Amino acid sequence: MPQPQANNQKLNSNNYYSLEMDKQYMSVSQFKNWIDCEAKTLAKLKGEWDEPPNNAMMVGSYVHAAFESNEEFTKFVEENNNSIFKKNGSKYADYETADMMIETLKADPFALFAMEGEKEKIYTAHLWGTDWKIKVDSINHERKTFSDLKTTSDLYKRYWSDKYNGWVSFVEIWGYVLQMAVYRRVLQESLGNNYTPYIVAVTKENPPNKAVIHFDESRFDFEYEYVEMKIERILEVKSGKVEPVRCGKCDYCRSTKKLTDTIEVGTLIYE
């Protein structure tokens, strides 16, 4: 796939998630996709593999829309009516839980304070040899802060991470430190000021738990080094200079898998 020569469309809220803009820009989600599976990500960019949103993503978007604006929330419900409501008019259990999550945050003044600001603002910057795009949940120019709303199963659940070589929280395992680091750098380049990031987290428990999470700035240094270490290879694959590597485990790799040999038993747990 040839590398784009120049942006021939203006990035906006309508085309932000389009294939054309994904080809022209790097994003945190795309970067993480490249790390997970190069073959799948390239196939998606070529339009050869379509990945519909899963239920967890839909529920997360439902919660996000509730804090963007009444208009956006109404629009989301109308567009996804069949996924949210049963035939008898009641909501599916996941969306009833989501309503509890929304009410939990709306009833907390500090959580609302952390989310004050302009919603879903787009910024771009040229970093690490490529153009990046970000869409910020909430940005407060007066306080020089920005926040991102995250839903999770449990605030205190631990996960093993090969990247960090240790046990980590949901914030690290899902790449949210990386996200906040990149957003911070893009805003610095785009606006000329340092903005402090926060995560507003709410859980799917009954009743939901919640937290406003800040970051020690030293965490970002590791993430910037990580991007610098990975980005050259990613851009080479994206531009078609080198062939992508298959992870062998994702839905794309399973769907397109062709057997050519046998494997030894130990391969099942050590690869």
Q: What does the pLDDT look like over 178-213, one tens digit per residue?
A: 999 999 999 999 999 999 999 999 999 999 999 999
At residue 60, the pLDDT reads 92
269 or 153, greater pLDDT = 153
Residue 83 has pLDDT above 60, yes or no: yes
The lowest-confidence range among 50-54, 106-110, 158-162, 239-243 is 50-54
Measured CA angle at 206 (ends 166, 91), to 5 deg: 115
The C-alpha atoms of residue 118 and residue 248 are separated, in whole angstroms, by 41
**In 10 A of CB 252, how many CB atoms?**
20
The C-alpha atoms of residue 243 and residue 30 are separated, in whole angstroms, by 17
What's the mean pLDDT when you consider all of the chain? 94
User: Residue 154 is encoded by which pair of tokens?
Assistant: 């449990």
Measured CA angle at 247 (ends 242, 253), to 5 deg: 100
The C-alpha atoms of residue 264 and residue 58 are separated, in whole angstroms, by 39
* Confidence class for position 4, pLDDT limits 50, 70, 90: very low
In this prediction, residues 60-86 reach a mean pLDDT of 93
Residue 271 has pLDDT above 80, yes or no: no
- pTM of the predicted structure, to 2 decimals: 0.91
Residue 107 has pLDDT above 80, yes or no: yes
At residue 8, the pLDDT reads 56
In this prediction, residues 263-268 reach a mean pLDDT of 92
At residue 52, the pLDDT reads 81
Percent of the chain topping pLDDT 90: 91
The C-alpha atoms of residue 37 and residue 195 are separated, in whole angstroms, by 31
The C-alpha atoms of residue 96 and residue 90 are separated, in whole angstroms, by 9
At residue 7, the pLDDT reads 46
In this prediction, residues 36-44 reach a mean pLDDT of 98
At residue 67, the pLDDT reads 95
In this prediction, residues 93-117 reach a mean pLDDT of 97
Determine contact, residues 133/16, Cβ cutoff 8 Å: yes
pLDDT tens, residue by residue, 154-177: 999 999 999 999 999 999 999 999
In this prediction, residues 134-156 reach a mean pLDDT of 97
* Confidence class for position 6, pLDDT limits 50, 70, 90: very low
In this prediction, residues 45-52 reach a mean pLDDT of 92
Contacts 24+ apart (CB under 8 A), 62-66: 62/95, 62/98, 63/98, 63/101, 63/102, 63/149, 63/151, 63/202, 64/137, 64/149, 66/102
At residue 270, the pLDDT reads 80
At residue 269, the pLDDT reads 86
In this prediction, residues 68-76 reach a mean pLDDT of 93
Cis amide leading into 207 (omega within 30)? yes
At residue 2, the pLDDT reads 39
Residue 31 has pLDDT above 80, yes or no: yes
